[in-house]
């Protein structure tokens, strides 16, 4: 699960790059960049959740 | 009569930058003391030896290999979507021909050598009391050779993040004069990777009940380290303003004042928050707040007004103790030095705030692209690189090492040989 989250994060980065290349309008570009960041935060949340699932192992 | 024989007056900016960089190691010294003080007494010598050795490994690895990718000598550029993307430096290894470079380029390498050592100390602090010396050196070498040079090239070496303004009309491009992203977010990502891979200290999260409090062993080290760090940060921020943001020397006083205001605002708000929550101010959390304010200033100090620097610091000072508590209690993350809250979160907030408060139009979007790059590329890359290292050089000492303390186990002697060290009740 941690790896899944970490793999989602670069996807958000590529969304941000796509926003730079595809849109000249600052509004659309900003919205796409925000979406890319949201995807990255979701990926990080999934990775943290993966760490939480191992919480039992950490409690020793 | 004397004009013909008078030597030319050197440019003021490079001379000032060199002077500042001679003071910048105080940030390394301060952070080393903070890390050692927040760990246990039976690991203090190992923590400080590790810090000195990490600085040494970082200097050698960066000067030997990393600097050629950071890009003082040349750069690899590709074209896509009608834009040029400068993505990696192509200089000579071992700083070949450095004496023939312009002084600004030489100063850039000196700045980066010190910055990478500071970045290497951040994961080391997060792994306190359980991380082996060899693992600390290996992670520092990996940061110095691979990830830091790439990021430094993108941000400071004319890379694509620096060119966001010219290529895409985003303000002045991604701005990070003092290394909030390049040093602190990268180091903070390393800290997160270390605590995930090494796991919590034994007894930190018992099978039943709340997390065990493991307070730092020496508040004096921690708080004196904070004062040393202030001097180092002022030097880093001022040198960075000259070298990377090409600020006028007249901007330096505001940069130094902003650094102080961000730290002071953060300390004040952390002090109030801990006072309200616990009934008394908490020394280690206040130190974390002070450092978090300094980290935010790394992004903001040279760009924003004093009022904005103060507000940025105050916000981070409120957030820091709450983040430290949330990471430990809600997410089971054992980070003895608070590196993730201070450096990772502080760096991200500072970069965002720089975009909000900077006078350039469109700067916020450039800062968001930089933040997205740090989160989307460098955090996963740090984790994967550190996991690879962890398989070769295990991060965590065995249970005997934790029971004896890192000093006895790794160095054969303690930092305080004449003191009686109390037995740890968690090892029944």
For residue A35, which residues of chain B lie inside 8 Å, CB to CB? none
Altogether, the residues listed in chain A come to a count of 60
- The count of domains in chain A is 1
CATH class of the region B21-61+114-412: mainly alpha
Question: In this complex, which of A21, A29, A40 lies closest to B372 when CB atoms are compared?
Answer: A40
**Residues from chain B contacting residue A13 (CB–CB below 8 Å):** 372-373, 375-377
Q: Where are the alpha helices (DSSP H) in B100-218?
A: 103-126, 133-142, 148-155, 164-168, 186-198
Q: How far apart are CA A57 and CA B3, in angstroms?
A: 76
B72: pLDDT strictly greater than 90: no
pLDDT tens readout for residues A28-53: 999 999 999 999 999 999 999 998 88
| B302, B309 contact by CB (below 8 A) | no
- In angstroms, the CA B166 to CA B151 distance is 19
Is the pLDDT higher at A57 or at B91?
B91
Q: CA B304 from chain center: how many Å?
A: 21
- Residues in chain B with CB shorter than 8 Å from the CB of A58 are 199-200, 204-205, 332, 334
Instruction: Check CB contact of A58 with chain B, cutoff 8 Å.
Output: yes
- Chain-chain contact of B375 with A48 (C-beta, under 8 angstroms): no
Contact B240, B21 (CB under 8 A): no
Asked whether B157 and B66 are in contact (CB, 8 A), the reply is: no
pLDDT tens across A6-22, in order? 999 999 999 999 999 99
The residue whose two tokens read 């700045």 is B111
Instruction: Give residue A27's pLDDT band: very low, low, confident or very high (50, 70, 90).
Output: very high
Q: State the pLDDT at residue B2.
A: 44
Q: Indicate yes or no: CB of A26 within 8 angstroms of CB of B365.
A: yes
Domain range for A37: 2-58
Of B83, B206, B377, the CB nearest to A10: B377
d(CA B116, CA A23): 35
Q: Is A21 on the interface with B (CB under 8 A)?
A: yes
What are the CB-based long-range contacts (under 8 Å, 24+) for B48-53?
Answer: B48/B415, B49/B133, B49/B411, B50/B124, B50/B131, B50/B133, B50/B136, B50/B137, B51/B121, B51/B124, B53/B133, B53/B136, B53/B137
For residue A60, what pLDDT is reported? 47
**Nearest by CB: A6 against B81, B164, B380:** B380
Interchain contact B384–A (C-beta under 8 A): yes
User: What is the secondary structure of B45-73 as a DSSP string?
Assistant: HHHHHHHHHHHHHHHHHIIIIIHHHHTSS
Give me Rg for the CA atoms of chain B.
21
Q: Is the ipTM of this complex over 0.90?
A: yes
Reported as a single tens digit per residue, the pLDDT across B349-383 is: 999 999 999 988 889 999 999 999 999 999 999 99
Cβ atoms of residues B306 and B257 within 8 Å: yes
Q: For B145-155, write each residue's pLDDT tens digit.
A: 999 999 999 99
Residue B428 has pLDDT above 60, yes or no: no
Give the integer Cα–Cα distance in Å for B333 and B328.
5
- For B304-331, the DSSP string reads S-HHHHHHHHHHHHHHHHHHHHHHHHTT
Q: pLDDT at residue B95 above 90?
A: no
- Residue B28 has what pLDDT? 98
Yes or no: say if A48 and B412 are a contact pair by the CB < 8 Å rule.
Answer: no
pLDDT tens-digit readout, B192-236: 999 999 999 998 888 777 888 899 999 999 999 999 999 999 999
Confidence of residue B1 (pLDDT cuts 50, 70, 90): very low
> Which pLDDT value is given to residue A54?
73
Q: Give B313-358 pLDDT, tens digit per residue.
A: 999 999 999 999 999 998 889 999 999 999 999 999 999 999 999 9
- Which residue of A7, A9, A42, A50 is the best one to mutate when testing the B interface, meaning the one whose CB has the most B CBs within 10 A? A9
Give the whole-number percent of chain B exceeding pLDDT 70: 95
**Which pLDDT score is estimated for B304?**
96
State residue B332's pLDDT score. Answer: 86
Average pLDDT on B70-84 reads: 86
B201 touches chain A (CB under 8 A): no
């Amino acid at each position: 699960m941690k790896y899944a989250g970490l793999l989602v994060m670069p996807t958000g980065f590529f969304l941000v790059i796509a926003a730079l290349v595809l849109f000249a309008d600052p509004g659309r570009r900003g919205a796409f960049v925000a979406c890319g960041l949201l995807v990255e935060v979701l990926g990080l949340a999934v990775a943290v959740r993966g760490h939480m699932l191992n919480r039992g192992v950490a409690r020793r | 009569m004397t004009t013909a024989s008078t030597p030319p007056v050197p440019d003021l900016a490079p001379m000032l930058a060199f002077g500042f960089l001679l003071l910048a190691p105080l940030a390394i010294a301060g952070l080393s003391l903070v890390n050692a003080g927040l760990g246990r007494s039976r690991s203090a010598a190992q923590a400080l030896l590790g810090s000195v050795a990490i600085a040494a490994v970082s200097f050698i690895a960066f000067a030997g290999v990393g600097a050629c990718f950071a890009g003082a000598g040349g750069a690899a550029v590709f074209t896509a979507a009608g834009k040029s993307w400068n993505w990696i430096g192509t200089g000579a290894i071992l700083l070949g021909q450095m004496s023939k470079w312009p002084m600004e380029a030489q100063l850039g390498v000196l700045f980066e050598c010190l910055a990478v050592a500071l970045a290497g100390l951040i994961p080391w602090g997060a792994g306190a009391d359980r991380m082996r010396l060899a693992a600390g050196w290996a992670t520092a070498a990996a940061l110095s050779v691979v990830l830091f040079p790439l990021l430094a090239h993108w941000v400071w070496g004319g890379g694509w993040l620096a060119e966001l303004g010219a290529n895409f009309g985003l303000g002045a491009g991604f701005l990070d004069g003092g290394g909030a992203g390049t040093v602190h977010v990268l180091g903070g990502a390393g800290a997160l990777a270390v605590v995930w891979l090494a796991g919590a200290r034994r007894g930190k999260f018992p099978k039943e009940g709340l997390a065990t409090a493991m307070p730092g062993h020496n508040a004096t080290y921690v708080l004196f380290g904070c004062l040393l760090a202030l001097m180092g940060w002022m030097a880093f921020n001022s040198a960075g303003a000259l070298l990377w943001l090409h600020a006028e020397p007249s901007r330096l006083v505001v940069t130094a004042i902003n650094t102080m205001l961000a730290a002071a605002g953060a300390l004040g708000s952390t002090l109030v928050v801990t006072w309200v929550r616990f009934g008394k101010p908490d020394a280690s959390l206040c130190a974390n707040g002070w450092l978090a304010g300094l980290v935010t200033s790394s992004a903001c100090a040279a760009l924003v007004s004093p009022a904005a620097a103060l507000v940025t610091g105050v916000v981070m000072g409120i957030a820091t103790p709450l983040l430290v508590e949330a990471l430990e209690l809600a997410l089971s993350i054992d980070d003895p030095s608070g590196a993730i809250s201070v450096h990772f979160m502080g760096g991200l907030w500072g970069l965002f705030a720089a975009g909000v408060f900077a006078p350039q139009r469109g700067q916020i979007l450039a800062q968001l692209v930089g933040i997205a790059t740090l989160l989307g590329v460098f955090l996963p890359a740090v984790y994967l690189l550190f996991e690879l290292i962890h398989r070769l050089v295990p991060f965590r000492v065995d249970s005997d090492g934790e029971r004896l303390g890192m000093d006895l186990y790794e160095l054969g002697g303690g930092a305080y040989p004449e003191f009686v060290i109390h037995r740890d009740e968690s090892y029944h």
